[in-house]
Amino acid sequence: MNQTTTAATSPITGLKRLLNGPWTPAAIMVLAFVAASMAFFAINGREPVGLFFEMVRGGFGDGYSFSETLVKTSPILLTALAIALPARLGLISVGAEGQLYLGALFGTGTVLLAFDQPGWLLMPLMLAGAMVGGAVWGIVPALLKTRLGVNETISTLLLNYVGILMVSFVVHGPWKNPNSLGWPSTVEFPEGAILPTFFDTRVHMGLVFGIVAAMILHVLVTRSRWGLGLQVSRSNPRVGATAGISYEKNVLLVMAIGGLLAGLAGIAEASVIQNRLQDGLATGYGLTGFLVAWLSGQHFLRIIPLSILMGGLMASADSLQLYAQLPKASADILQAVLFIIVLAVGGLWRRRTMA
């Protein structure tokens, strides 16, 4: 596509090269997002430039703000991985939210069962419980797809609601803390079931799980035979089958692994952030994770910085209320704007370079 490489000496061709480089669409996206957010602030009658800087400061301006951004990053990162891995096999799962809730549900169930066990035993049990819970909520739609041909997008979407309602049921009913004076939540987790945090902030092990998982998945999918097999199966399951690659098995595997990662996100929220299981545990992380997964182009390493960026956007929404009295929904609007810009710029850029 780029035939000017040999004439790099001329400044004009140099500029052309730069414009055709891989960073150009990213730069356009950033500029478009900055402009769109400022326009959004201006439409709402706020001073756009100063407010934009306040927002950036609210997400990344000091140690505390950045730590709160990373708190939001963990569940986004893990749920994005839970979406991106099945997507490598061509599956469009939207089930990370439900898997997150199931992870919190099973993990909390384990904690309640093993309440008096010491931390060295309770913590691994809790995490294992959460992974099983999340994986189950991945395997169910996977089986529905491979056995009955049910579309995975629809089944994962519906299972989200089931998962959220199951948590709601237990915290309003059987698992309600008898001493909470009627308030719907479980008892507080014991000390041994609280994931470790770093440097006196709320940033917790969940972030480490997410980053390590992203790196492992990246290596597996790009370097291993199994990863190559996913690619083959994705483009043509029948060709894959003749090479001994079972599409059905891979569907189960990617959905289960994705689910267990989202499950980890769920138990991390319950354990270290809320200290208990309750309603409204993580409203919307699964959806944000879905956006991040598709923004990244299912690229596991790109998911990490994108999750931090999205976490920053969610955490910095505070500044919009604090300094400009813009409602909390503004952050959701900006998130949608970002998503549309990335899709639109990406699409236009591909058309331009193909032309």
Partner 1 sequence: MKKPLSILLASTLLATSISAMAETKVGFVYVGPKSDYGYNYAQDQGRLYLEEHLEDVETLYFENIPENADVQRVMERMIRSGVEIVFPTSYGYLDHALKVAEKYPDVHFAHSGGLKTSDNLMTYFAEIDQAMYLAGIAAGMTTETNKLGFIAAHPIPQVLRNINAFTRGARSVNPEVTTSVIWTSGWSDPSKESEAAEALIDNGADVLTGHVDSPINYVQVAEERGVYSVGYHADASKFAPEGWLVGAVWNWGPMMVDIVESVEDGTWESQHLRGDLLTGAAQLSDFGSAVSDDTIAEVEERRQMIMDEEYQVWAGPITGQDGKVIVAEGDTMTLQETEKMDFLVEGVEGRLP
Binding footprint of partner 1 on the chain (CB under 8 A):
47, 49-50, 53, 58, 64, 68, 71, 168, 172-173, 181-184, 202, 273-275, 278-281, 283, 315, 318-319, 321-322, 327-329
Residues 6+ apart with CB under 8 A from 195: 123, 204, 205, 206, 268, 271, 272
- Minimum CB separation of residue 313 from partner 1 in Å reads 14
Report the distance separating Cα 305 and Cα 117, nearest Å: 37
To partner 1, the closest distance from the beta carbon of 183 in angstroms equals 6
> What is the DSSP secondary structure assignment for residue 278, as one 8-state letter?
B
Other CB atoms within a 10 A radius of the CB of residue 323 amount to 16
Report, in Å, the least distance between residue 206 CB and partner 1.
13
**Nearest distance in Å: CB 217, partner 1:** 28
What's the rounded Cα separation, in Å, for the pair 215 and 300? 7
* Tokens standing for residue 165: 């309602």
Q: Which amino acid is at 341?
A: I
CB of 58 to partner 1, least distance (A): 8
Nearer to partner 1, 248 or 318 (CB): 318
Do residues 167 and 281 touch, judged by C-beta distance below 8 A? yes
| Residues paired with residue 185 on neighbouring β-strands, in sequence order | 278
Render 47-116 in DSSP notation, one character per residue.
-HHHHHHHHHHHHHSSHHHHHHHHHHHHHHHHHHHHHHHHHTTT----THHHHHHHHHHHHHHHHHHTTT
Residue entry with tokens 């990617």: 254
Q: State in angstroms the smallest separation of the CB of 24 from partner 1.
A: 22
Taking the least distance from each CB to partner 1, the nearer of 11 and 173 is 173
- Which residue lies nearer to partner 1 by CB, 182 or 196? 182
Identity of the residue, 140 or 277, whose beta carbon is nearer to partner 1 in the bound complex:
277
Task: Between 168 and 231, name the residue whose CB sits nearer to partner 1.
Answer: 168
Which of residues 34 and 92 has its CB atom nearest to partner 1 in the complex?
Answer: 34
State in angstroms the smallest separation of the CB of 182 from partner 1: 4
Q: Which two tokens stand for residue 253?
A: 């595997």
Nearer to partner 1, 145 or 204 (CB): 204
70 phi/psi in degrees, rounded to 5: -70, -30
